Every structure is written in C-alpha cells, then in structure tokens.
Structure 1
Amino acid sequence: MELEEYKSSFNSEDAAPGWDAIDSVLKQVYAEQEPKHWGTIIKYMLGGPDPLDGISAYQSSAGNRDHLHFCSYGFTSLYYDEEAVGQEFSKFGFELTFRLLSKLPPDEEPIWVCNLMQNLARYVFESGKWFEEYHWIPAWYGLKTLDTFYGKNVT
C-alpha cells in the first residue's frame, strides 16, 4: 500500500489498521464468535508495563479437540503510523498465538496465559530479538535461557 492510499483509507486519529487487520483474519476463522478479550489499563507506548495492548481468546474445536485459541495484539503496528507504510515488516512482523486444551470455564479465566504472553513480549521488546514462524518454547525452559536454547549468544 502506498502512503497516499494509506492516508485516504485511514484518515482518522483513532484509526487502528493493524488491529483491524488481525480482527479481519480472526473473523474469517471464527465468524461471529465474540472473543474473550484482555486489554491493558495503560498502553505500553504511554508508559504502561505491558507491551501487548491486548490478547483475545476464541473457543475452538479445530482438530477435534476443544481448546482456547489466544492471539496477541502488539508485536505489529496496530495504530495509524505513516512511517510503517511500505516497510518489509510491521513493527516486529508477527503476533503470538497460544492454544490451551480447555474450554473457557465460566467462573475463572486463564490469566496465566496472558502473563506468559506479556513476558514473552517483554523479552522481544527489551532484547530486540523476535520469533519466527514455527518457533516454539519448551515448557521447561525459562525466558532467560531462550538464547541458549536457540543457540544464540546472551546479550
């Protein structure tokens, strides 16, 4: 997309083209399902502690297994940003997904998943190192040993 097309398509101060793009893809998968959503109180760009602006979870039975499918909002440029137009990647160029083999219990929320995703986001935002397609993290490794696991030097 060229800059002029971007300006004319998203010409309001509250435009969130990146967020809308993520929602559009998830809507193709989950149709009209309303996700469970967790957002930050103070956005990271305004000094808040959590790099991800939001995390949504959808109930899914893909693969014949009931599970929750979580998706992050924040590794890509979510809001109007003319400097992002024409770049190879939008910010870090990816979002995280997480699948939890469970239905959403009516009386409790799996907040630990949000905490895990926010901790991964802190690792990426602070180190400048990112994840690529099909990267995964074994449950028995802590964030401090990710560089060792992937064979990179710890900085």
Structure 2
Amino acid sequence: MTHDVEDEHAAPGWDAIDAALSLLYPGVEPRHVGYLPPAAFSANLQGCSSYPAAGHWHYVTYGLSELYTPGPDDDREWSGWGFELTLRVVRGSEDEAPGWPFTVLNHLANFINGQGVLVEDGHRMDLRQPVTGHPHTDGPDTGLTVFAFTVDPQLDTIDTPNGKVTFYQAVGVTPEEKTRMQQASTRQVLDQMTGSNPLLVTDPARA
C-alpha cells in the first residue's frame, strides 16, 4: 500500500512498514482502516491493514511504533514501543477482510498504550471473553479467549529510519492451551501447534 500523506509531515516509519509488506504481498492492495481520534491524540492505533494471504487474512497495525519523524529525545534504537501487532485470521468465501480484527487489535493497542505494556515473544493476554470481541463486534462466538504472542513468522523485525520494529503476532488459544503454556511454556505449545498450522492462523471455529 502506498501511504497517502495528508499533511506536511513525513512518515518514514509508516513507509518502512509498507515497504516490508510490499515485499511479502507485491502488487496487493490491502483493506485499510483508520481510527478516530488517531494515535497522536489518543491511545488508538493510527491505522490497520489487512492483506489476503493463502487461506487467511493477515492484519498489521500502524501506530505502536513511531510512524512520523521522531523527536530529538526519542530512542533511535527502537521505534516507539518497538513493535507492531499482527493477526492472521482464517479466510472463508468472503471477498473482504472481516471487520472485527480491526476492532480487536485497536482494543489491544489501547490496553498497551494505557497500561504501558511491552509485548514480547511468549507473552499472553487472557481476555476472559472471545478473542473475536463477540458479542460486541461482528466477530463469531468462539472458545478462544486468550491471545499468545510470538514473532510474526514472515515479518519478524525490520529496520526503519526511526529504529527497529518487531512484529508480534497475536494467536488465539483456548483456556486449556493457556494452562499447558503455564505448565510448560508458551513457545513449546505454539511450536506444537505449528505442526498443523505453520503460520499460526487464528480460526475461531476450532473452539
């Protein structure tokens, strides 16, 4: 996606994310949504894009990292929080990416910004409700109530003019899988899941 600059501010961080995605999805125009009020004036994301991938939709956030020109006192090693979020959702016959992941990812961003939470590989968030946001969104009901986080297997970490950005993928898991993660480790359970689900696509229908 080509970033449309609507004002005089350069967006080197945004452009760097776009460049990484254009390598993964050359020539593909994503569905993109913005949030109001935007990140500069709230705990919201600036935006989120969804790309049609093989058998799933791939959502990527904009706004947890520094998208625009950083200030003189900002950390130049890591951009903003140092990460963005991704989510892969199973794709059916629909022609357009479902809306609920845009809402859910923004809710996660609000929590991260509001509480100052740094996401890392192996972290979990127990939402104690469907990860789809059901019934408050158009998402389906599901027994997946926990998000486990891992480095996105295709985007990983990129260098931007504003510093490094790691893409942490949220993976919907069940309470039972969370218990196994507590007994062993998040990484071990996710590794087991990749045997049948290499990209750790979240499928609400599996629970």
TM-score computed with the length of structure 1 as normaliser: 0.70
Pair 1:52-2:40 in alignment: no
Post-superposition offset of 1:115 = 1.1
After superposition, the Cα gap between the structure-2 partners of 1:112 and 1:84, relative to the gap in structure 1 and judged at 3 Å, is farther
Unpaired runs of 5+ residues, structure 1, are: 1-11, 143-148
1:38 is aligned to 33
**Residues 83 and 51 of structure 1: is their aligned pair in 2 closer, same or farther, counting only changes over 3 Å?**
farther
Q: Percent identity?
A: 33
In 1: Cα distance, 2:56 partner to 2:145 partner: 22
Q: List per-residue Cα deviations over 1:52-105 (Å, max 9, x = no partner).
A: 1110000111xxxx1000000011000112336652211100000000011472
Q: Which residue of 88, 98, 102 maps to 1:114?
A: 102
Preserved CA contact (<8 Å) 2:44 2:109: yes
Q: How many residue pairs get matched?
A: 127
> Which runs of 5 or more residues in structure 2 are unaligned?
1-6, 127-143, 148-178, 183-207
**1:20-67 CA distances to partner (integer Å, 9 max, x unpaired)?**
0100000010011001101124313235xx511110000111xxxx10
User: Matches of 1:114 and 1:100 in 2, distance apart?
Assistant: 11
Q: Which runs of 4+ in 1 moved over 4 A?
A: none
Partners of 1:77 and 1:84 within 8 A in 2: no
The TM-score with structure 2 as length reference comes to: 0.54
Deviates most, 126-135 or 32-41: 126-135
In the alignment, which residue of structure 2 is the partner of 1:100?
Answer: 89
Give the aligned CA root-mean-square deviation in angstroms.
2.8
The equivalent residue for 1:133 is 121
CA 1:52–1:34: 2 relative to 1, 3 Å: same
| Aligned CA distance change for structure 1 residues 140 and 132 (closer, same or farther; 3 Å) | same
